Structures are given as C-alpha cells and as structure tokens.
Copies of this chain bind each other. A is one copy, B any other.
Amino acid sequence: MSGLGLFSVVGLGVTERVRVACCQIAPDVTDRVASAAASTAAIAAAIDRGAQIVVLPELASSGYVFESAEEARAAAIASDDELLASWSAEAARGDAIVVGGFCELAADGRVFNSAALVDADGVRAVYRKLHLWHDERRWFSPGEQAAPVVDTAFGRIGLAVCYDLEFPELTRGLALAGADLIAAPTNWPRQPDPPDGRPILHSIAAVTAYLNKVFVAVCDRCGTERGLAFEGGSVIATPLGEASTAPVAAAGMVLAECDLAGASDKRLGQDNDVFGDRRPEHYRLAPP
C-alpha cells in the first residue's frame, strides 16, 4: 500500500454521494518501472480510503518530459498492457472505476497521449488527447475521435486530458453528451503565483463545473522532471463552482463525496435551465 497522504475529505452535494479521489503523484520519466508501480500504488491507497472513482494524472504510466519521439515510443504501452490490468485489479478490489493517463502505443504503431477508463472488467474506454500541448506534437499523434462519455455504475464519466480543458466547446460537449463528472488527468506546468492566489487551473475547473452543472475532477501531477516543475493543482469542483483543492505542488490525495446523480439536473432556480436556455442558432462557433 502506498504512503500517499490524504489532503481532505469533503462532502460535496447532498444525496447518493460517490467518493471521488484525485491522486496527485509525481511520475518520473527516467524511471518507468517506478512510475508504473506508483500509479498502481496510488489507486490502492485511494481504494483503501473508500474511493469509488479514482483519477490519476496524465501520462501516469510514463512521466511527461520526453526528450525524443524514440523515448516516448519506448515508453508507450498498448491498452491491453499489464499495467492497465493492474489498475483493473485494484479497481476490482473496491468495485471502483479508474481514470488515468497513459502513453499509448496503438495497433498501427502510432503513439498517443491517452486516458483509459478501467473497471473490474478491464479497459472500458480509451480517449486519445485531441489538443496537443507544446512539444507533445513531436512525439504524439493527435486524437481523431471525440472525447467519450462512459456510463458507469456511479454515473456518466466524460474524459478530457489537460490542455483539452482550455477548450470550452469540448467540456460543454461532454456535458451535453450527458457527463455527470468530467475526469481530467493533467500535467500542468507550474505557473507564477496568481495575484489572487488562485491557480488558473482551479478557476477553470470551478467555472467549467458551474457553467455546465457537472462535477469536474482534475488530477494533476506534482514534482519536477528534467527541470520542468509541475503545478500540483488537483481539484474537484462542484456544479455550484465550489472547489476542493490540493495544496499546490505537494503529493497527496484529494477526496470528495459528490452527488453525481444531481448533475443531471440542469435547472437554475424555478425558471431557468442551463441547457434548455441555450440558443445554439445564435452562437458564432464557425469562423466567419
């Protein structure tokens, strides 16, 4: 069992609570064996705390700061790899769901920055990151399918990976497709301290949750790789825009009890509904 400490347990929402955990860990791109073991140990620690949905960071299987396409390819694993099987085994122990980022080797030989949703039966869905950040396009192919929403025993889980969160069309689309929770593995580079003390990643999660009336679980990584420091900005945000956050940069677990069933209610007061009030014919989303 991992020594991963617990930051907080917070009750969010009212009924039918689902225990969601974000495991803020520090994979190490120079030690894949240790990174892989740490990812499974983090799941184990979350299951021991009663987590029903466990979110891991982006590229939890491998670490992030590759130096070449060859290095990324050497680190890539297929979605039937034993590592994801070990995630599934831990999920089975708690009858839980795991969402985690991994460096994927596709059957056609391409390498993707992917997230898997895993349960006791194995891999339920793989999402390949649509929006590649910075050097990622040097070693990853961009995804070619919309981000999925997966029906689970605990609610409908939409997947996104890191920079995807900066595209409000993608998160809105997940909510419109029925997501109660958006689970987002991230590897957010450390930002300068904002004037108001709130990392922009926390604000993005809170506003995405509030505008779409969904829960948003961002599992960020911490630590430093090859000189790049990461934010450690994990956050679980509610449809009211409230956020339970990790202390920036530290390793640990954010755990929140979330009324995921309540997220299907899009009403705002007696007269409004955030989906029903939409006026799609008047949005100018196609370039002029």
Contacts and interface: CB of A to CB of B under 8 A. Distances in A.
A228 interface: no
A236 to B, nearest CB: 13
A286 interface: yes
A200 B198 CA distance: 13
Contacts of A210: 200, 203-204
A272 B145 contact: no
Contact of A278 (B167, B211, B274, B278): B167
B172 A169 contact: yes
Interface string A270-288: 1110100111101111111
Contacts of A196: 198, 242-243
A135 B271 contact: yes
Nearest to A241: B200
Contacts of A204: 207, 210-211
A222 interface: no
A147 B206 contact: no
Given A137-B271, A203-B207, A284 B146 contact: yes
Nearest to A286: B280
A278 B204 CA distance: 17
Given A168-B211, A204-B207, A207-B203, A133 B272 contact: yes
A130 interface: yes
A118 to B, nearest CB: 23
A166 interface: yes
Given A135-B271, A206-B203, A173 B211 contact: no
A23 B139 CA distance: 50
A174 to B, nearest CB: 7
A44 B288 CA distance: 37
A176 B286 CA distance: 8
Nearest to A137: B271
Contacts of A194: 241-242
B166 A211 contact: yes
Nearest to A10: B195
Nearest to A208: B207
Contacts of A177: 284, 288
Interface string A128-144: 00111111010000111
22 contacts: A134-B269, A144-B282, A146-B282, A167-B211, A167-B277, A167-B279, A168-B168, A168-B211, A169-B172, A169-B280, A169-B285, A170-B283, A174-B284, A176-B288, A178-B288, A200-B206, A200-B241, A203-B207, A204-B207, A204-B210, A207-B208, A280-B286
Interface of A: 130-135, 137, 142-147, 163, 166-170, 172-174, 176-178, 194-196, 198, 200, 203-204, 206-208, 210-211, 241-243, 269-272, 274, 277-280, 282-288
